Amino acid sequence: MGILKEKMQKCEPIAGVHVSLGDACISELLSNVGFDFLWIDTEHTAIDYQILQNHLIAARAGGTSTLVRIPWNDRIMAKRVLEMGPTGIIFPMINTAEEAEFAMKSCLYPPYGIRGFGPIRAVYYGQENNDEYIQKKSWEICRCIQIETATAVKNLSEIVKNPYIDAYIFGPCDLSGSIGEINNVFGKRTTALIDEAIHILKENGKSIGVSTGACDIATIQYWHDRGINIISAGTDHLFLSEMAVKTLNNIQHVQQSGR
């Protein structure tokens, strides 16, 4: 079993960071920082399949696990990503037990699921045994879903009965949007939904995650204190943008002060 999957199953603390830009040098750089995984996002970014594969190659070179968020609960999208051999996959916007079951079946070969066979990079381009991949390594994939709506929270007691989901990850902004308060991430109603979901997940011994662009101590502490063990925080484009603005402000301050 992979280290990341084992940590998920044991509900251990896990730290991740988001990758949204196209250059694989970003994953090469971040994979050497020490995160447990890189969250490579293909839902809200311009990252296509070829760019994704380059990110996966770079992350593996640095020895860091990868979770790829696909744009939708689609078996074809899932299949193409899984053939590239990421450590795991994330399905967004899962709202019902039926949707969760479909997502999991998209990851599993018959008779357990509906995944078509044709791994390429996942079997090192034919250098590994296909049967070993089917019987062992395909089961080591981390299968994650996102809880992003009030409907998902309502149905969570049924969703958690699925034995193949390794982690449940909140998307707080979309969750707040589902109750008409988009981006009110820390609002009372959103917080109540998150706490309700966390209670259900903890009762069932599930690994719980959150995806946030923020990387300050206060925000990370907030999610940790709520009982979340998987925290994916910060993203490459914000690191660049915020440091660029800070640097420009520092230059202008010195230049304008005449010092």
What is the average pLDDT across 41-62?
A: 98
Reported as a single tens digit per residue, the pLDDT across 157-173 is 999 999 999 999 999 99
Which residues are marked as active site? Answer: 44
Q: Are 84 and 122 a contacting pair, CB within 8 Å?
A: yes
> At 249, which amino acid appears?
N
pLDDT level of residue 259 (50, 70, 90 thresholds):
low
Rounded CA separation 185/125 (Å): 43
Q: Which residues contact 154 (CB under 8 A, 6 or more apart)?
A: none
The structural domain count of the chain equals: 1
Quote the pLDDT of residue 1.
76
Q: Is the pLDDT of residue 134 over 90?
A: yes
**CA distances (Å), origin 23, targets 37, 87, 191, 216, 236:** 17, 20, 36, 25, 11
User: Which residue, among 162, 251, 184, 215, has the nearest Cα to 39 in the 3D structure?
Assistant: 215
Predicted confidence at residue 258, as pLDDT, reads: 74
Instruction: Specify the CATH number for the domain of residue 110.
Output: 3.20.20.60
- Length in residues, the chain: 259
pLDDT in tens, 189-248: 999 999 999 999 999 999 999 999 999 999 999 999 999 999 999 999 999 999 999 999
User: What band does 128 get if pLDDT is binned at 50, 70 and 90?
Assistant: very high
* 119 vs 125: CA distance, rounded Å: 8
Comparison of pLDDT for 38 and 259, the residue scoring more? 38
Domain with 9 in it: 3-257
Is the confidence at residue 60, as pLDDT, over 80? yes
**Predicted pLDDT of residue 100:** 99
